Amino acid sequence: MSPNNFGNPDVIVVGAGNAAACAALAARENGASVIMLEAAPLEECGGNSRYTAGLMRVAFNGLDDLEQIIPDLTDAEKESDFGTYTTDQYFDDMGRITQYRTDPDLCELLITRSHETLVWMRKKGVKFIASFGRQSYKVGGKFKFWGGLAAETWGGGPGLVENEHKACEREGIRIFYETPAISLITDDEGRVLGVKAKHKGRNVEIRAKAVVLACGGFESNAEMRTRYLGPGWDLAKVRGTRYNTGLGIKMALDAGAMPYGHWSGCHAVGWDMNAPPFGDLSVGDNFQKHSYPWGIMVNARGERFVDEGADFRNYTYAKYGAVILSQPGMFAWQIFDAKIIPSLRDEYRIKRVTKVRADTLEELIGKLEGVDAEACRREIAAYNKAVRTDIPYNMAIKDGRRTEGLKIDKTNWANTIDTPPFEAYAVTCGVTFSFGGVKISTAGEVEDTAGKPIAGLFAAGELVGGLFYHNYPGGTGLTSGAVFGKIAGTGAAAYVKR
């Protein structure tokens, strides 16, 4: 393909996921001509966004705010207890979860623009629904939402990407597949003038007035995982796309960008032990196993190793993958009894699952491959004895139903494991995205090591550093991609005009 086939775009967006699409749509809305470069083929396009379940964490003060995002709620659905998730609550969660390291300026943008950005996405054709299936429980006959999450994209990640790409097509934004960008083209003054890329294996140069990098972190690159996250991370499974190899970050660093954020940290969850090395779109997000707060987890030594009930799943799942990876053999078993099995999330009922089931606890423990059975029996007996059964159990709140006197106490949702039948599920670590990346300004400009914008270079999505440290509040990734994608695209269009 000759350079002319790419046209003469004002803005090149590198990537084709949620952040990239929002950047492209915002740049087009502000008068720029735009193309997108996607490393993956059409059937795998959309980056990690396509592999998500579609939850988006957004600030809202009640039903009126939610209806601006989800206008077709039925009268029956409106009777649900959605509660509120105020900007103050959002700030509290981002601070607490990141150990107060989150960049204050970027965090403020993420939170204060979350609602208006989702409304904008809806107007572009993205459809949202209330997340009844995963973020609410029936309490007294009424659905009560928990964990600060109420909205998700219709059709999950695939639905989000499909609707965003349809919007791009309507706006005349072309997406070039199997076209990874390799490096930036700069002039003697360091201004970005386009990219060098490979289009279906052939080297091409594409000129433009501005470039937006929105092509993910380095989580699919085993060498970079080991270099930055540490030993053993090369063996972690990847939840999403195989194409997030850190090229966007490398391109920016080669152009003088400031490395920023938690480079030795990542979003990593409990993931089926026998899942494939990379995400499988036919299964999507269902290799995850996120009902652990209601049961217990044991390692190869037969020991519990975390407080499964430390907080709502939304606030612990993204860090417990790393804890599982650090266990002997890099695996754990999640154990449940008949009291909890009916409440397990849908992902526990898929066909491709590593599961054992038994009518006695003794038999179940014997089926836990790789586990010291005798130690596990002692561990569960001690756990059962320590459960405060006098405290009422309530899934919808942090109920304080705990154990007492154990080396690692469970602080909420402690249920005895004593009612047959019993089930256990084997999990390992599934890495979602890396936290380290490049520094951006509040206008989405990539900054150099002196803190000055690199002319013509913008960034959004998972390759932006500084938002997440140690952990991550569920549903924030897609929202961050959308908010900073819109900011970067708007900034790129404004730069083109200048």
> pLDDT over 90 for what percent of the chain?
96
Strand partners, 303: none
Structure-block tokens of residue 386? 């320590």
Close Cβ partners of 73 (under 8 Å, ≥ 6 residues apart):
66, 67, 130
| Residue 4: band (very low, low, confident or very high) from pLDDT cuts 50, 70, 90 | low
Structure-block tokens of residue 410? 């469970």
In the predicted structure, residue 5 carries a pLDDT above the cut 90: no
Tell me the C-alpha distance between 84 and 89, whole Å: 9
pLDDT computed for residue 396 by the predictor: 85
Q: What is the pLDDT of residues 82-109, one digit of tens each?
A: 999 999 999 999 999 999 999 999 999 9
- Helix H, strand E, coil C: the string for 192-206 is EEEEEEEECCEEEEE
Close Cβ partners of 87 (under 8 Å, ≥ 6 residues apart):
59, 111, 112
Cα–Cα distances in angstroms (integers) from residue 248 to residues 184, 197, 301, 450, in the given order: 9, 12, 41, 20
Cβ atoms of 378 and 329 within 8 Å: the answer is no
pLDDT computed for residue 467 by the predictor: 98
Please spell the DSSP secondary structure of 379-392, one letter per residue. Answer: HHHHHHHHB-TTSP
Regarding beta strands 34-37 and 11-14, do their DSSP bridges make them parallel or antiparallel, or are they unpaired?
Answer: parallel
In residues, how long is the chain? 498
pLDDT computed for residue 133 by the predictor: 82
In the predicted structure, residue 200 carries a pLDDT above the cut 80: yes
Mean pLDDT across 197-219:
97
Q: What is the pLDDT of residues 387-444, one digit of tens each?
A: 999 999 998 899 999 999 999 999 999 999 999 999 999 999 999 999 999 999 999 9
Q: What is the pLDDT of residues 6-18, one digit of tens each?
A: 999 999 999 999 9
Structure-block tokens of residue 318? 């993204």
Please spell the DSSP secondary structure of 175-195, one letter per residue. Answer: EESS--EEEEEE-TT--EEEE
Q: What is the pLDDT of residues 63-82, one digit of tens each?
A: 999 999 999 999 999 999 99
Global pTM value: 0.95
Supply angle C-alpha 189, 15, 160, rounded to 5. 145
pLDDT computed for residue 325 by the predictor: 98
Cα–Cα distances in angstroms (integers) from residue 449 to residues 346, 452, 453, 495, in the given order: 46, 7, 9, 21
Q: Which single residue is written with the structure tokens 């030993």?
A: 231
Q: What is the pLDDT of residues 277-329, one digit of tens each?
A: 999 999 999 999 999 999 999 999 999 999 999 999 999 999 999 999 999 99
Mean pLDDT across 451-476:
97
Q: What is the DSSP letter of 81?
A: B
pLDDT computed for residue 273 by the predictor: 98
Tell me the C-alpha distance between 313 and 398, whole Å: 11
In the predicted structure, residue 343 carries a pLDDT above the cut 70: yes
Strand partners, 457: 211
In the predicted structure, residue 33 carries a pLDDT above the cut 90: yes
Cβ atoms of 250 and 244 within 8 Å: the answer is no
| Residue 235: band (very low, low, confident or very high) from pLDDT cuts 50, 70, 90 | very high
pLDDT computed for residue 138 by the predictor: 85
The H or E element spanning position 175 is strand 174-176
Close Cβ partners of 366 (under 8 Å, ≥ 6 residues apart):
358, 373
Q: What is the pLDDT of residues 138-196, one digit of tens each?
A: 888 899 998 889 999 999 999 999 999 999 999 999 999 999 999 999 999 999 999 99
Tell me the C-alpha distance between 466 and 463, whole Å: 10
pLDDT computed for residue 1 by the predictor: 45
In the predicted structure, residue 462 carries a pLDDT above the cut 90: yes
Q: Which single residue is written with the structure tokens 């989405």?
A: 444
| Residue 237: band (very low, low, confident or very high) from pLDDT cuts 50, 70, 90 | very high
Structure-block tokens of residue 223? 């060498």
Please give the domain boundaries of the chain with CATH numbers for all domains. Answer: 3-218+436-497 (3.50.50.60), 268-430 (3.90.700.10)
> Which regions of 108-171 does DSSP assign to beta strands (E)?
128-130, 136-139, 142-145, 151-153
Structure-block tokens of residue 438? 């490049």
| Residue 135: band (very low, low, confident or very high) from pLDDT cuts 50, 70, 90 | confident
Please spell the DSSP secondary structure of 305-347, one letter per residue. Answer: -S-TTSS-GGGTHHHHHHHHHTSGGG-EEEEEETTTGGGS-GG
CB atoms within 10 A of CB 423: 19
Mean pLDDT across 39-57:
97
